């Protein structure tokens, strides 16, 4: 990929502990986001996906974390070293954010319209124009009777409607990037599909780039252009949807095998054996080695393997990609 809109390289995030070494929770992560691209970020809980997303909006400190090293380049800005003055020019303006829980992201005592207008005012629009813009945004995210919904509070809306409001807030300032951190969590399957269809439609209409975080590979396959797989705080494979469907890392292959929609009728659902290593207990070598059927002695020594190309735009952190492809 040439000239990505967002370029994350060697990102390390950790929690500082006084004189002790920091507790590293994301280790040398790499991600490239192209213009107009929907990029899926996939991995088990605790793999570091949300921390990577928080590094894009400057809220790591709310979890006691910070960027230890690496770069997060957005054009000529390096967000890894941003101060609060820089974040005010980026957060909500150039990068919009959709949280896992809309109830956590919306103020329960403020009307939907008033919350939208807080975002709209960042563009310089105020007064009656801001009122009209709030209604237009609600209509744009396919909410019926937007004039009425603008006067309602979050508890008066369904989960799907609240998530649509969060998307409306995220696009209110015309950002270059939307970060959607598991935006369908807790929603039923039909509503999940509607939210994904909406995100894809907004991307097509506006050209905004999207980072979509999810555990659900089927959902990611349906809407994304490219995918990055995370495991134990680092990125282990990245490529187009078609490339990742033919995985070159055993963790990606295991994720594919555990997809419920690919299981034969009446067969037992396959799972990934074992558990991801706990943060701060990463052993030498590949962090997936203890769960990998094809692990070799060399896999448990040295540093964790870095991403390396196996095809145009397709990269894996497994030193034995051909063996993974043959076994998949």
pLDDT for residue 136 = 96
pLDDT for residue 326 = 59
Structure tokens, 269 = 């659902």
The answer to whether residues 314 and 243 touch, using CB atoms and an 8 Å cutoff, is: yes
pLDDT for residue 325 = 65
pLDDT for residue 185 = 80
Domain boundaries, the chain: 103-212
pLDDT for residue 101 = 78
Dihedral, CA of residue 121, residue 130, residue 200 and residue 217, to nearest 10: 50
Of 287, 301, 290, 293, nearest to 326 by C-alpha is 293
For residue 78, list its beta bridge partners: 73
Structure tokens, 76 = 């000529």
pLDDT for residue 202 = 94
Structure tokens, 141 = 């995210």
pLDDT for residue 265 = 64
One digit per residue, the tens of pLDDT, for the chain of length 328 reads: 568 999 999 999 999 888 898 999 999 999 999 999 999 999 988 899 999 999 999 999 887 899 999 999 999 999 999 999 999 999 999 999 998 877 778 999 999 999 999 999 988 999 999 999 999 999 999 999 999 999 999 999 998 999 999 999 999 999 999 999 998 887 888 888 899 999 999 999 999 999 999 888 888 888 999 999 999 999 999 999 999 999 999 999 999 888 765 555 666 667 888 888 988 789 899 999 999 988 999 999 999 999 999 989 999 999 999 877 656 5
pLDDT for residue 147 = 96
- Exposure pattern of 7-23 as b/e (b: 16+ CB <10 Å)? bbeebbbbbeeeeeebe
pLDDT for residue 327 = 60
Distance set, CA 89 to CA 57, 69, 74, 286 (Å): 11, 22, 12, 39
pTM: 0.92
CATH homologous superfamily for 103-212?
P-loop containing nucleotide triphosphate hydrolases (3.40.50.300)
pLDDT for residue 261 = 57
Dihedral, CA of residue 169, residue 173, residue 174 and residue 179, to nearest 10: -50
pLDDT for residue 193 = 87
Cross-sheet strand order for the sheet of 66-74:
20-33, 6-17, 66-74, 77-78
The enclosing H or E element of 264 equals: none
The enclosing H or E element of 9 equals: strand 6-17
**217-224 CB contacts, 8 Å cutoff, 24+ apart:** 217/42, 217/255, 217/256, 217/259, 218/259, 218/261, 219/184, 219/192, 220/40, 220/42, 221/245, 222/196, 223/38, 223/40, 223/196, 223/199, 224/38, 224/39, 224/40
């Amino acid at each position: 990929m040439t000239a990505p809109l967002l370029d994350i390289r060697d990102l390390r995030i950790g929690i500082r502990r006084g004189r002790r070494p920091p507790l590293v929770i994301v280790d040398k992560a790499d991600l490239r986001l192209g213009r107009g691209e929907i990029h899926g970020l996939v991995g088990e809980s605790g793999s570091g996906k949300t921390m990577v997303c928080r590094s894009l909006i400057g809220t790591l400190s709310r979890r006691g974390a910070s960027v230890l090293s690496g770069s997060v380049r957005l054009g000529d800005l390096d967000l890894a070293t941003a101060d609060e003055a820089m974040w005010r020019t980026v957060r909500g303006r150039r990068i919009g954010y959709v949280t896992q829980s809309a109830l956590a992201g919306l103020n329960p005592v403020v009307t939907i319209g008033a919350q939208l207008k807080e975002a709209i005012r960042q563009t310089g629009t105020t007064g009656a124009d801001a009122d009209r813009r709030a209604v237009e945004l609600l209509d744009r995210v396919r909410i019926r009777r937007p004039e009425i919904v603008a006067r309602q509070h979050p508890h008066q809306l369904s989960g799907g409607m609240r998530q649509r409001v969060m998307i409306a807030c995220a696009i209110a300032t015309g950002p270059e990037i939307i970060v959607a951190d598991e935006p369908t969590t807790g929603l039923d399957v039909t509503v999940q599909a509607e939210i994904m269809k909406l995100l894809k439609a907004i991307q097509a209409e506006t050209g905004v780039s999207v980072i979509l975080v999810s555990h659900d590979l089927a959902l990611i396959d349906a809407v994304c252009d490219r995918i990055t797989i995370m495991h134990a705080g680092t990125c282990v494979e990245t490529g187009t949807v078609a490339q990742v469907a033919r995985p070159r890392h055993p963790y990606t292959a295991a994720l594919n095998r555990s997809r419920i929609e690919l299981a034969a009728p009446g067969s037992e659902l396959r799972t990934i054996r074992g558990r991801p290593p706990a943060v701060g207990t990463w052993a030498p070598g590949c962090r997936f080695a203890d769960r990998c059927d094809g692990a070799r002695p060399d896999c448990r020594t040295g540093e964790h393997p870095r991403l390396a190309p196996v095809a145009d735009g397709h990269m894996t952190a497994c030193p034995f990609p051909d063996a993974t492809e043959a076994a998949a």
